[in-house]
Amino acid sequence: MHPIPVILIFDIGKTNKKLFVFNEAYKVVYELSTQITELKDEDGFPCEDILALSNWVLSSLDTLKKESAYIIKAIHYAAYGASLVYLNEKGELIEPLYNYLKPFQEATKNSFENKYGSLDEISLTTASPYLGNLNAGLQLYRIKKEKPELFQKMNWALHLPQYIHYLVTGELASDITSIGCHTMLWNFENHGYHHWVKEEGLDKLFPALKSAVGLHDSSAALIPYLSSFHEPFLLISTGTWCISLHPFNETALTTSELTQDSLCYLSFAGRPVKASRVFSGKEHELGVEALNTYFNKPAEYFSTIHYNKLFHIDENFTIEDLSCFKDFETAYHNLVARLVRKQIISTNLILANTQVKRIFVDGGFSNNEIFMNMLARSYSEYEVFAAAIPQASSLGAALAVHEKWNTEAIPNNLISLQYYSTKTNEKGIL
């Protein structure tokens, strides 16, 4: 048996670390995965065990290099954002990898605003709502102000995808999808680092921008859709956060949109991707727990319920008072209806006045019959589809470097779609 040409993709999530091997038809022929126990930083806050992660990447790569069934033609990377890895002048790792959920001190925020003015204006220019340590630029600013001895050791700052690239290749590089995603680093008007970044000297910590050196996972997950569909569309990627992504909306962010949790990503092609988000996955989780307790149902009972458009929907529904509902089914329809109303408000921030005809939904809610039917009824003027795409961010990372390793054409069946008709409430398969 002759070895087949493949691409290796490291897909590093907060919880699951994965390695996928794709053949030229973009089918997964091999995979490895692990979960790594978190450490605690010097303040006792949980953080990624970057040494353990590094060792897993290198040992997994060794395993694949010894596998005679494959010819490795390329390696690429996708990883979660807002996480910076620091190296000293010798290129050695400086621990820890701080958690982006770590609280941001009010005094540090005030110090920043006293020097550079209101964060609102900088947020507008950088398409980044103020999010504390979720703004990677402010992570660096925090360290410079609060931990100057640590800052003095730093020679390079790499976003996590580019650190994995450095680990494998030894090349220092930055990538636009990481630099341009709610970091407060990038000036979307001038297409360069914001003046505050330069004044602090932080731009010198970032290597030169290059392509094919790893991708922010949210940007990577959009690539299979951009490869498959050329007419304007909007993607609602659902999970703990439900993120609406509109790669065809090129209007500038407004202050109003920013205050409602809208932002811009930069695609791997360097184009702005307008986005909005809502915390629906977590609200659904908490709501289902409350319903299970009140109605004495098992954990996954909600997944057995079918959509019924005749159920009464109370727009004032809350999980704090379930006494007015006769059964789980009615209450659950009301819970989902509440989430759909929030989704519409969030999605409409970036959907209005655009040429979109199709809305795709992927992730957890794409499998929720009630959510999908309610969304389709609310967007009756659009074609609404549940999209199924395995390993979206990994596949996107592979497709981003297609021309560098694959001589075959990109398949046209990467995404399966399930159409939700608002006229008959019957699903159709595309």
pLDDT digits (tens, 9 = 90+) for 297-353: 999 999 999 999 999 899 889 899 999 999 999 999 999 999 999 999 999 999 988
- Cβ contact 418:429 at 8 Å: yes
Q: Map out the domains of the chain as residue ranges.
A: 4-213, 218-280+338-429
String of b and e for 395-423 (b: at least 16 CB within 10 Å)? bbbbbbbbeebbeeeeeeebbebbbbebe
Question: 3-class DSSP state for residue 152?
Answer: helix
User: ∠ CA 286-288-291 to the nearest 5 degrees?
Assistant: 115
- The encoded tokens of residue 96 equal 């820890």
Indicate whether 427 pLDDT > 60.
Answer: no
> How large is the average pLDDT for residues 222-231?
93
Indicate whether 291 pLDDT > 90.
Answer: yes
How far is it, in rounded angstroms, from Cα 124 to Cα 122?
Answer: 5
**The residue count for the chain:** 430
> How large is the average pLDDT for residues 97-115?
96
How far is it, in rounded angstroms, from Cα 162 to Cα 400?
Answer: 15
Q: How far is CA 36 from CA 15, 55, 81, 190, in A?
A: 8, 11, 17, 40
Query: Cis peptide before 129, with omega less than 30 degrees from 0?
Result: no
pLDDT bracket for residue 198 (50, 70, 90): very high
CATH topology (fold) of 4-213: Nucleotidyltransferase; domain 5 (3.30.420)
- The sign of the dihedral angle between the CA atoms of 329, 333, 338, 343 is positive
Identify the bridge partners of residue 8 per DSSP, sorted by sequence position: 21, 75
pLDDT tens digits, 29-64? 999 999 999 999 999 999 999 999 999 999 999 999
The packing angle between helices 328-351 and 369-378, to 10°, is 50
DSSP state of 346: H
DSSP state of 92: -
Identify the bridge partners of residue 78 per DSSP, sorted by sequence position: 11, 215
Q: In what order do the strands lie in the sheet with 262-266?
A: 262-266, 272-278, 242-246, 233-238, 358-363, 383-388, 416-420, 427-429
- Alpha helices by DSSP H, 127-215: 136-146, 148-153, 160-169, 176-179, 195-199
Q: How far is CA 32 from CA 66, 81, 227, 263, 294, in A?
A: 14, 21, 26, 33, 40
More confident residue, 107 or 266: 107
DSSP state of 97: B
- Cβ contact 200:221 at 8 Å: no
Mean pLDDT of the chain: 93
Among candidate residues 144, 145, 263, the one with its CA nearest the CA of residue 204: 144
- What's the confidence (pLDDT) of residue 422? 76
- The encoded tokens of residue 350 equal 């970036």
Question: Do the domains 218-280+338-429 and 4-213 match in fold?
Answer: yes
Query: Torsion angle of alpha carbons 332, 337, 338, 344, nearest 10°?
Result: 150
- What's the confidence (pLDDT) of residue 352? 81
- The encoded tokens of residue 252 equal 């500038």
Q: How far is CA 405 from CA 72, 270, 408, in A?
A: 9, 21, 9
> How large is the average pLDDT for residues 135-151?
97
> How large is the average pLDDT for residues 232-242?
90
How far is it, in rounded angstroms, from Cα 415 to Cα 237?
Answer: 14
Going by their DSSP bridges, the two strands 242-246 and 272-278 should be labelled as: antiparallel
- Strand runs labelled E in 267-305: 272-278
**Which CATH number does 218-280+338-429 carry?**
3.30.420.40
- Cβ contact 62:122 at 8 Å: no
pLDDT bracket for residue 429 (50, 70, 90): very low
More confident residue, 156 or 14: 156
Indicate whether 412 pLDDT > 60.
Answer: yes
Q: How far is CA 114 from CA 28, 117, 141, 184, 185, in A?
A: 52, 6, 14, 17, 18
Going by their DSSP bridges, the two strands 383-388 and 358-363 should be labelled as: parallel
pLDDT cut 90: percent of the chain above it: 81
- What's the confidence (pLDDT) of residue 240? 81
